[in-house]
Amino acid sequence: MRASSLIEVLSASHLSRFVNHSIYSQRGGIFLVSPPGSLKSSLIRNALEGFPDCLMVSDLNINTLTMLKSSFIDGRYTSMAFGEFEKLYQRNPATAANIEGHLKAMVEEGFGASSFEDQRMVTVRARVLVIAGITPSCYSRMSQKWNENGFARRFLWCHYTLNDPHIIIEAIHKWKPLSFGKVIKEMPGNEHIPYAITPKESSHLRDLMKYQISLETPYMLIKKIFCVLKWRHNSKKAMAIIEDFAESLGTHGAKLMLNGEKEEKK
């Protein structure tokens, strides 16, 4: 999987709210599952920088999340990104579970009133897309719980390792920046992005997700991502990016290649 493909998909997921298809309002999200030092935070930042309506957070608590609710409702922020999601669990387990429950609602049916607020109040639900990075050890530790409480089925789970584990050290040695490749991150303004997917394309996208924990919300999200990529490029290019990204959705994950790396012969 090329780093540029992953960045294109992450940025397109942020813009998925522009896809003109009112039937499904869920936002969903994407988790990057890879070992420490695998550029999760750098990839997420590279994909989302330049979008003023994306909130990058390093940590979160319920009070902060509640205060941000109005910013999600009025559209100031439409996506939330965590470089290291595991930090949420380095606190009181009950607090972490409460935050997890709110995020689970925000990507699906929407976040209404917090538990300490008057439940009789009329509230406008806040929806947001979540992108986060976690380590395989955290994923392994939490996966059973996430499967049981429904958290896992709301997200695409992207597993990868670096194709060249020494590439960061080499870049430092040569005193050169890492290259993620050229990525288009155009904003559509206030216009809608058309929902333009053929039955054949829809079936193919579903097949690419056959090893994911769940379809439903993740399937809806990847179709919207494809629409954004199609709007940016064309059908052929959009599907090529999705297919490259889909390597990370399989049972063995993907090898992430940065710009300039040569793909190993299979």
Q: Is pLDDT of 174 > 80?
A: yes
What pLDDT, on the 0 to 100 scale, is given for residue 96? 85
CATH 3.40.50.150: does it fit domain 3-256? no
Alpha helices in the chain (DSSP H): 3-14, 40-48, 62-73, 93-106, 136-149, 167-174, 199-208, 217-232, 235-246
Residue closest to 146 by CA, chosen among 208, 100, 79: 100
Please give the Cα distance from 133 to 44 (Å, whole number).
8
Query: What pLDDT is stored for residue 112 in this prediction?
Result: 57
Tens digit of each residue's pLDDT (9 = 90 or more) over 11-50: 999 999 999 877 888 999 999 999 999 999 999 999 999 8
**Once rounded to an integer, what is the mean pLDDT over residues 176-195?**
85
